Structure 1
Amino acid sequence: MSTNEKEHLLHIFNEQLRHFSTDTILFHQAVAERLGLNSTDHKCLDLILRNQPISAGKLSDLTGLTTGTVTGVIDRLEKAGYVFREKDQDDRRKVMIRVHTKKAESEIMSQLESFGHSMKAMLEQYDNEQIKFLFDFFERSRNIIQNETLKLKK
C-alpha cells in the first residue's frame, strides 16, 4: 500500500469516526427525549447505573460537571422516578444515589432493545479474531478520548 493510499484511507476512516460520534450522540439524544430526559441526564443515569451506589461528588468527578450541575441532574432523575437518594451506611452525613432498577429496565432497556438486536446481528458477521480486533480498537480509542478530555480540562 502506498503512502498516499494509506493517508487517503486514514482520512476516510477519520471522517467515518466523526459521523459515528455524531450519530451516537443523536441516537442517545433521541433515547433521552423518549424518556423525558435531556442527553446529559440520560448519560449520567447510565453512569449511576454502572457505578451504584454513587455519591454526587463521585458522579461530578466522573463527568467533569460541577457539583451544582450534578445536583440538578440528580433532582431531575429523581423527579422522573429513575433514581433515589439514601444515606450512606458507613457515613450517615453522605448521600448515595441508586437507580430504581425495575423502572430503568422496563423503560430504558425497551428503548435500546432494537438497537441491541441490530448490533448483535451485525457483529455475528465477524469472526472471533475480528471481534477481538474491534474490542482492541475501541479500548484504545476510549483511552485516547479519556486522555484528550483530561487535557481539555486543564
Structure 2
Amino acid sequence: MSEPTPGELLGREFITAIVMFHEAVGRSMGLTAVERKTLDVLRRLGPVSASQLVEHTGLTSGAVTGLVDRLVRRGFALREPDSQDRRRIVVSLASNPDLDRRTAEVFGPLGVDMAAMLDERFTPEQQETIADFQRATTDVLRRHTARVSGRSVAD
C-alpha cells in the first residue's frame, strides 16, 4: 500500500474527529454513537420503516431490530402502525424532554461555532463549494457503507 497523500491524511483526520465527537456525545447522553445518530435520523426524517433505517444507517436488518428494541425499551423511540397502511409498522422519535435539552446543550454551541467559522473564513461561493463537497462525500460514504455492510451498492 502506498503512502497516503496529504489530502487523504486530512480526510482521515477529519472523519476521525467526527466519529470521536459523536462517540463523546453519545456517551454523555448514555447512548452509543449509533443509537444517537439513529435518533438524529428519526428527528430528520420523521416516522420511518425499519428498512428505511437500514438504508440510512448502513446496519443489517437484524442489527436495526436490536437497535430499535433498545431505543423503544429506553423510551427514546416508538413503534407505531403506519398512518397510511396500518399493517405496516414505523419507528418514530418519542417525546423526551431530557434528551431534547441535552441535544440542544451539545449541538447549539457547535452550530453557532460552525456558522461563525464558515462566515469568517469563507465567501458565500466557497460555502456553496463546501456544501457540494459535503453532499458528494455523503454519497460516497453511503455507497461504501453499503459495500462494507454487504448490501447492494446503489449509484
Structures share fold, TM-score greater than 0.5: yes
TM-score, structure 1 length as denominator?
0.82
Q: Which amino acid aligns with 1:20?
A: F
Match of 1:130 among 117, 126, 131: 126
Moved over 6 A (4+): none
Q: What is the Cα deviation at residue 93 of structure 1?
A: 2.3
Q: What is the Cα deviation at residue 82 of structure 1?
A: 1.9
Instruction: Give % identity.
Output: 31
1:51 is the counterpart of 2:51? no
Q: Deviations over 1:12-36 (max 9, x none)?
A: 2221110010010000011111111
Q: 1:137 to 1:57 in 2, by over 3 A?
A: closer
TM-score, structure 2 length as denominator?
0.82
1:141 is the counterpart of 2:146? no
3-state SS of 1:137 partner: helix
Q: 1:127 to 1:27 in 2, by over 3 A?
A: same
- How do 1:92-107 residues align onto structure 2 when only pairs under 5 Å count? 92-101=86-95, 103=97, 104-107=99-102
Q: Deviations over 1:66-92 (max 9, x none)?
A: 222112111222233221121112322
Counterpart residue number, 2:113: 118
3-state SS of 1:86 partner: strand
- Would you tell me which structure has more helix in proportion to its own residues? 1
Unaligned runs of 5+ in 2: none
In structure 1, distance between residues paired with 2:141 and 2:83? 35
Structure ID, larger Rg: 1
In structure 1, distance between residues paired with 2:145 and 2:8? 18
Number of equivalent positions: 145
Q: Deviations over 1:103-151 (max 9, x none)?
A: 3532322221221121111111121111111112212222222333344
Unaligned runs of 5+ in 1: 1-9
